[in-house]
A and B are shown apart, each in its own frame.
Chain A
């Protein structure tokens, strides 16, 4: 496949103006689990030029029920496995890989160059830490967070809301994995779809 063919195919589906915006965008994804792996693939398919992906973990057998990895990738670092999967789908995408645990001290270095940061971590405290650090330390940066996608509740409860300056939250805002005890692909993907679409709409200025 030539780059010109990839671009022409995207132009046919989403139009040249939109494709050009996406091609020149860099999106950061913090966490490559059920949310992050699905968001990364959606954004790659949409033609985002560069994804900065960060996760410290390896693919585990318990991830396969909802995360976009293969059984053959068990034991591989998620950053490496996801890079492989993304390049298989979108060969011309740029990938910045950070195989580290995200904390207050590395967030600005990892995500400072991104147009938008996606929060796709699993723990509530981690989510809050990332959101607080991005909004405090990277003024003007927009972050799209996922909160409330556990369990088997109604998918229609999951929505996208602008909750603060620079902060969009997707999810039902209430379901917690610690109380519901489960996470399933179909529902996590609804939330991931909300987050990925929010990124695409924000990049083109279709959502403020």
Chain B
């Protein structure tokens, strides 16, 4: 999927993640929640999204 040019928030919406239940890493750095709306993914970025589920 080509996600370059989109923000982290847009990518999470496309992939149907709940932004309150995820952690996002880009190029081995955690993306802060406050940067989701402004962090634009670039061609070649490596992005990892972890979604958490409830229970403990």
Contacts and interface: CB of A to CB of B under 8 A. Distances in A.
Interface of A: 31, 33-36, 120-125, 127-129, 131-132, 135-136, 145-150, 163-165, 167, 169, 171, 173-178, 180, 183, 188
A109 B16 CA distance: 34
Given A163-B50, A164-B48, A136 B30 contact: yes
Interface in B1-56: 18, 20-23, 25, 28-30, 32-33, 48, 50-56
A34 B56 CA distance: 5
B23 A128 contact: yes
Contact of B23 (A122, A150, A167, A183): A167
A176 B54 contact: yes
Contacts, number: 89
A134 B33 CA distance: 12
Contact of A150 (B28, B29, B51, B55): B55
Contacts of A120: 56
Nearest to A34: B56
Interface of B: 18, 20-23, 25, 28-30, 32-33, 48, 50-56
Contacts of A169: 50
A150 B54 contact: yes
Contacts of B25: 164-165, 167
Given A132-B23, A135-B23, A164-B23, A127 B52 contact: yes
A183 B56 CA distance: 8
A165 B50 CA distance: 12
A135 B55 contact: no
